Amino acid sequence: MSQTILLLPGDGIGPEIVEETRKIMEWTVRQGLADLQFETGLIGGAAYDATGTPLPAETLTRAKTAAAVLLGAVGGPKWEPLDYSVRPERGLLGIRKELDLFCNLRPAMVYDQLADASTLKREVVSGIDIMVVRELTSDIYFGTPRGVETLPDGRKKGLNSMTYTTDEIERVARSAFEIARKRRGKVCSVDKANVLECTELWRQVVTALHQKEFSDLALSHMYVDNAAMQLIRNPRQFDVIVTGNIFGDILSDEASMLTGSIGMLPSASLGTRYALYEPIHGSAPDIAGQGVANPLATILSAAMMYRYSLNLPAVADRIEQAIVRVLDQGFRTPDIMQPGMKLVGTSAMGDAVLAALEG
Ligand code: NAD
């Protein structure tokens, strides 16, 4: 039976990069590699302009009946004067929360062809292939009590609460172990168990789950401050990193910057029933509408969809290999341009991936 993919192009460069990704996905259908049909929905500023809300109920309903969602990006200066409650970014936070997407996967891979784009030395970053698994629906961003109160003496006090329950820790840890099993079998759990009780519980739950269900894998623990250093000092030591929401927020940005090319980095956000795939970059208003955005992060996000939602890992491999071939052939959008390479725009880059798939 045909599966429905909901495309949410969003704002800025979103429509341009989603269109190129759709070309690739339609190719997999024509080849008989997947049985998919596509729907397009509204989110972000585009949804606000059309309906007065950044996350229309119809988008949410369609997301819940789709096999997976592919999102471009949301936001832009046009909507910055709006109240926070209707800003484009609320649409994104809203859909993640409504779909209960608790597990955020951010791979950080350095393509050999682009290793010089990193601000770190080639010998440090070359060959890195890290998967950061970040818990996405709990921790200090959601814990209560929270807020700012005025003390009797007039001073103000800000408060946020870091909270995790055993089930919240266990489900994301389980995802990380399952992913590690399909990779190099190594999980590093990052916490601050020396000073934060909440993360002491994190360490206990991860350790117990490892002993019970995943003792064939290698588990290590690292304090978050050390992890931040080790990511720069020797990033190749990592395979899968699993961590909570706030540590993951910071470490996944740090890991992605090892690669030096924001236009190349995909992500997946998974729940028990739903999944959403998107590039890690934003809507890039500075280059929107010019046909120069790099579509590869979004195409790689679609590859993750074939792997994690559609259970078609061989198709994911093929798309990823086609991208390596395109880079070998010297095709470059402006953000990854290097001397002597072939400068192409968004659509020509999509066509190059298509040609590499066909070739
Ligand atoms: P951004 O990621 O949009 O852009 C940062 C820089 O990277 C810009 O110079 C941009 O041109 C470049 N860039 C980004 N993606 C690129 C691509 N595919 N190809 C070539 N160059 C690319 O971040 P920003 O400028 O801080 O934010 C712009 C808007 O995007 C804001 O409204 C922000 O809120 C929103 N945003 C959305 C998401 C999301 O939808 N997930 C994430 C981050 C920011």
DSSP 217-276: SEEEEEEHHHHHHHHHH-GGG-SEEEE-HHHHHHHHHHHHHTT--GGG-EEEEE-SS-EE
Residue 196 confidence (pLDDT): 97
pLDDT band at 256 (very low <50, low <70, confident <90, very high): confident
**How confident is the prediction for the chain on average, in pLDDT?**
96
Which of 227, 258, 289 is the endpoint of a domain? 258
Summarize the confidence of residues 64-87 as an average pLDDT. Answer: 96
Query: Strands 186-191 and 240-243: what pairing?
Result: parallel
- How far, rounded to the nearest angstrom, does the alpha carbon of residue 70 sit from its chain's CA centroid? 11
List, by residue number, the catalytic residues.
141, 192, 225, 249, 253
Number of C-beta neighbours around residue 37 at 10 A: 11
Cα four-point dihedral sign 306, 244, 108, 222? negative
Same domain, 29 and 95: yes
The total number of structural domains in the chain stands at 2
Check residue 344 and give its pLDDT: 98
DSSP of 270-312, one letter per residue?
A: E-SS-EEEEESS---TTTTTTT----HHHHHHHHHHHHHTS--
**Domain boundary at 222, 238, 258, which?**
258
Look up the CATH number of the domain holding residue 239: 3.40.50.2300
Domain-located, residue 118:
no
Instruction: State whether the beta carbon of 115 lies less than 6 angstroms from ligand 1.
Output: no
In a shared domain, residues 97 and 162: no
Same domain, 151 and 213: yes
Claim to verify: residue 222 and residue 333 sit in the same structural domain? no
Backbone angles phi, psi at 248, to 5 degrees: -65, -35
Separation of alpha carbons 28 and 51, rounded Å: 33
CA pair distance 23, 38, nearest whole angstrom: 11
Ligand 1 lined by 263 (C-beta under 6 Å) = yes
- In this structure, the answer to whether residues 171 and 94 fall within a common structural domain is no
Which of 80, 87, 134, 283 to mutate for ligand 1's pocket (most ligand atoms within 8 Å of CB)? 283
Nearest CA to 13 among 334, 353, 358, 357? 334
Q: Rounded mean pLDDT of 68-85?
A: 96
Please name the residue whose Cα sits nearest to atom 36 of ligand 1: 282
18 domain residue, yes or no: yes
75 lines ligand 1 (CB under 6 A): yes
Q: Which atom of ligand 1 is nearest to the CA of 89?
A: 34
**Six-digit token string for 339:** 């001397």
- Torsions phi, psi for 23 (to 5 deg): -55, -45
Domain-terminating residue out of 258, 273, 292 = 258
> Counting atoms of ligand 1 from 1, which one is nearest the CA of 297?
18
My answer on whether 273 and 213 are in the same domain is no
User: Rounded mean pLDDT of 109-138?
Assistant: 92
Quote the percentage of the chain above a pLDDT of 90: 92
What is the domain-level CATH number for residue 79?
3.40.718.10
- CA dihedral (110, 126, 323, 336) in degrees, to 10, reads 70
pLDDT (0 to 100) of residue 155: 98
Do 6 and 95 sit in the same domain of this protein?
yes
- Side chain identity at 33, as an amino acid letter? L
286 lines ligand 1 (CB under 6 A): yes
Query: Does ligand 1 lie within 6 Å of residue 287's CB atom?
Result: yes
Strand positions, DSSP E, 100-234? 103-109, 129-135, 147-150, 156-159, 186-191, 218-223
Q: pLDDT at residue 97 above 90? A: no
Residue 41 has pLDDT above 90, yes or no: yes
Find out whether the peptide bond into 145 is cis, omega within 30 degrees of 0.
yes
Q: With respect to residue 301, please indicate whether it lies within any of the assigned structural domains.
A: yes
pLDDT at 165 over 90: yes
Residues 9-28, mean pLDDT to the nearest whole number = 98
**What's the confidence (pLDDT) of residue 176?**
98
Asked whether residue 126 is domain-assigned, the answer is no
pLDDT band for position 1 (50/70/90)?
Answer: confident
Which amino acid, residue 141?
Y
Tell me: pLDDT of 63 over 90. yes
Does some domain include residue 113?
no
Q: Say yes or no: 272 and 248 in one domain.
A: no
247 in the same domain as 209: yes
Residues 269, 233 share a domain: no
Q: Is 116 in the pocket of ligand 1 (CB under 6 A)?
A: no
User: What integer pLDDT is reported at residue 93 of this predicted model?
Assistant: 87
**In what helix (H) or strand (E) does residue 320 lie, and over which residues does it extend?**
helix 313-328
Q: What is the residue range of 279's domain?
A: 1-108+260-359
Is residue 291 situated within a structural domain?
yes
Q: What is the pLDDT of residue 251?
A: 94
CA of 281 to the centre of ligand 1 (A): 5
Cβ atoms of 309 and 70 within 8 Å: the answer is no
High-pLDDT (> 70) share of the chain, %: 100
Pairing of strands 342-343, 331-332: parallel
pLDDT value at residue 84: 86
Give, using CA atoms, the residue closest to atom 11 of ligand 1: 284
22 pLDDT exceeds 90?
yes
Asked if 143 and 250 sit in the same domain, the reply is yes
Average pLDDT rounded to a whole number, residues 162-184:
97
pLDDT in tens, 197-253: 999 999 999 999 999 999 999 999 999 999 999 999 999 999 999 999 999 999 998
Tell me if residue 130 falls in helix, strand or coil. strand
Give the pLDDT band of residue 342 (cuts 50, 70, 90): very high
Summarize the confidence of residues 253-266 as an average pLDDT. 88
**Are residues 267 and 254 part of one domain?**
no
Residue 98 lies in a domain: yes
**274-333 pLDDT tens trace:** 999 999 999 999 999 999 999 999 999 999 999 999 999 999 999 999 999 999 999 999
Residue 117: the pLDDT is 83
